[in-house]
Amino acid sequence: MDMVGVVYMSRSTRPMQSDDLDRLLMDARTYNAEKDVTGVLLYGASQFFQYFEGHPADVEDVYERIRRSSLHQQLVELERRRVPQRFFHKWFMGFRDAPASAIQKLSQQRWMHEIPWAEDHSATSPGMQQLMAFLDTGSIEDA
Ligand SMILES: Cc1cc2nc3c(=O)[nH]c(=O)nc-3n(C[C@H](O)[C@H](O)[C@H](O)COP(=O)(O)O)c2cc1C
């Protein structure tokens, strides 16, 4: 069955303390585990960056909850497409602190939207590759 992945960035409506983030993640992970949605959230300097993946209907449910949250605003979708496989098998929502510069660089990568007649569905976007590199090494090459 097809899997869908979504990438977006947004700004927190107020600076998030670690308690606020703990609460958010606890809530998100509980719901994501029910829906089998996996992914990772980055936060730094009032900037959120998130990737989440799962079966289309489940991703829609989670996306709706995310869009409704009063904790952030100015959500900009960077990628939304079928993904060849799940990237985060065990993370119902992983978390990393990230410097604003890393989130800025990630946002400037090439992300892919579904273009049915032109896309290679099996390819991983350059943006996704950089996200993986950041999780692995803690840094990002310039776009
Ligand atoms: C940056 C961000 C990421 C979120 N990620 C998820 C998620 O992965 N899964 C989920 O079910 N809800 C997610 N949510 C929603 C929250 O878990 C929860 O609904 C929210 O903290 C409560 O928002 P409220 O204060 O507006 O009621 C996210 C919210 C924000 C702001």
Atom index in ligand 1 nearest the CA of residue 25 equals 17
| Residue with the two structure tokens 């949605």 | 37
- Write out pLDDT tens, residues 2-15: 899 999 999 999 99
Mutate to test the pocket of ligand 1, among 69, 72, 96 (most ligand atoms within 8 A of CB): 69
- Write out pLDDT tens, residues 23-81: 999 999 999 999 999 999 999 999 999 999 999 999 999 999 999 999 999 999 999 99
Residue of 99, 103, 100, 128 whose CA lies nearest to 113: 128
CA of 33 from ligand 1 middle (Å) equals 14
Residue 80's CB is within 10 A of a number of other CB atoms, namely: 16
* Sequence spans of domains, the chain: 3-137
Q: How far apart are CA 6 and CA 82, in angstroms?
A: 9
Indicate the residue type of 126. Answer: P
pLDDT value of residue 142: 73
CA of 1 from ligand 1 middle (Å) equals 26
In the chain, beta strands by DSSP E: 3-12, 38-44, 47-54, 72-83, 94-97
CATH number for the 3-137 domain, one of 3.30.70.100, 3.60.20.10, 3.30.230.70, 3.90.1150.10? 3.30.70.100
- Quote the pTM value: 0.94
